[in-house]
Copies of this chain bind each other. A is one copy, B any other.
Amino acid sequence: MIKSSYVFLHCSTRVVTALRAFAAGGPAAQPLYIEVKNRITRSLIAGEWQPGAAIPSESRLAQQFKVSVGTIRKAIDQLVAEKIVVRQQGRGTFVSIHTEDRQFYYFFHIVSRDGGKEPPTHELLSLQTVKADVQTAAQLGIRQGERLHRVHNVLKLAGNPVIFDELRVAAARFTDLNASSFGARDGTIYGLYQARYGINVVRISERLSAALPSARVARVLGVDRGTPLLVIKRVAYTYHDEPVELRTSWVNTRDHEYLSDLWKSEPR
């Protein structure tokens, strides 16, 4: 049996809330750990820590921000829950990257009807630069008439074309996007955004419906025009809910389905 005794002299000098409100000079009145979370997020946006790299340790951040480790912990807890960073015991806390399987499948929901998830292969069909119409501009938070890159893409599973994709991104954000950079990428498209343009997709919102294919989509997917397809309209967001990509996917659901698993706080 191990026993130990300590004597503390604890001088509590806490007028924290008042001090914080004063320091902020504003009516903020939000919890300290939220402010800490926002400051960390701002550093992430500024590119202070690159994807895959470790952010400073909890104790170091506690010193920098002059708060307790517990408060840092609670701030990072939220970033972990939003999958913006990942923790590894004994190693550190790392900015999420899109090259890892888990991260990838978090954004890819098409699975084989018999359960298995297969690695897809991509094929670029076309890459154009067009002007944004009013609706697209509104969704991307840009002005009508600004330039867009529009990419058409086909995605094959087990060798067969299953998904026809149309991506639209603001050309201003993705300056030198071209067919070769697109084709030469190692991993996922979001991995490319992250590695080449410093844009981290951290959340997506999707709207699904059923529709018949256009002639082109039918041809690419090898189905006739009476075959019902699953249509997925996706908006991808970076930090602070800023939209960065619009994507419409047409999916042949003969052998595949869209999996929406709501939801499991993955147990350890």
Find out whether the CB atom of B12 lies under 8 angstroms from the CB atom of A208: no
Find out whether the CB atom of A3 lies under 8 angstroms from the CB atom of B11: yes
Find out whether the CB atom of A205 lies under 8 angstroms from the CB atom of B261: yes
Complex: chain B residue closest to A8, CB-CB: B8
Find out whether the CB atom of B8 lies under 8 angstroms from the CB atom of A208: no
A15 on interface, CB distance cutoff 8 Å: yes
Contact of A6 among B12, B13, B34, B228 (CB under 8 A): B12
Q: Mark A78-112, 1 if CB is under 8 A from B, else 0.
A: 10011000000000000000000000001101010
Find out whether the CB atom of A81 lies under 8 angstroms from the CB atom of B265: yes
Find out whether the CB atom of A206 lies under 8 angstroms from the CB atom of B260: yes
Complex: chain B residue closest to A81, CB-CB: B265
Inter-chain contacts of A268 with B (CB < 8 A): 34
Find out whether the CB atom of B1 lies under 8 angstroms from the CB atom of A12: no
> In A205-226, which residues have CB < 8 Å from any B CB?
205-212, 226
List the one stretch of A120-128, A138-146, A251-259 in contact with chain B: A251-259
Find out whether the CB atom of A228 lies under 8 angstroms from the CB atom of B208: no
Find out whether the CB atom of B259 lies under 8 angstroms from the CB atom of A207: yes
Complex: chain B residue closest to A265, CB-CB: B81
Find out whether the CB atom of A5 lies under 8 angstroms from the CB atom of B13: no
Find out whether the CB atom of A3 lies under 8 angstroms from the CB atom of B12: yes
Find out whether the CB atom of A206 lies under 8 angstroms from the CB atom of B9: no
CB distance from A52 to the nearest CB of B (A): 22
- Number of contact residues on A: which range applies? 35 or more
A158 on interface, CB distance cutoff 8 Å: no
CB distance from A205 to the nearest CB of B (A): 5
CB distance from A129 to the nearest CB of B (A): 29
The distance in angstroms between the C-alpha atoms of A265 and B229, with both chains bound, is: 31
Inter-chain contacts of A106 with B (CB < 8 A): 262
Inter-chain contacts of A226 with B (CB < 8 A): 226
> In A192-247, which residues have CB < 8 Å from any B CB?
203-212, 226, 228-231, 233
CB distance from A113 to the nearest CB of B (A): 8
CB distance from A165 to the nearest CB of B (A): 16
> Given A209-B230, A257-B207, do A7 and B9 touch, yes or no (CB 8 Å)?
yes
The distance in angstroms between the C-alpha atoms of A82 and B264, with both chains bound, is: 7
Inter-chain contacts of A11 with B (CB < 8 A): 3-5
Would you mind naming 22 contact pairs between A and B with Cβ atoms under 8 Å apart? A1-B13, A2-B14, A2-B15, A3-B11, A4-B11, A6-B8, A6-B9, A8-B10, A81-B265, A107-B262, A206-B259, A206-B260, A207-B258, A207-B260, A208-B230, A208-B257, A210-B211, A210-B229, A210-B230, A230-B230, A233-B257, A263-B263
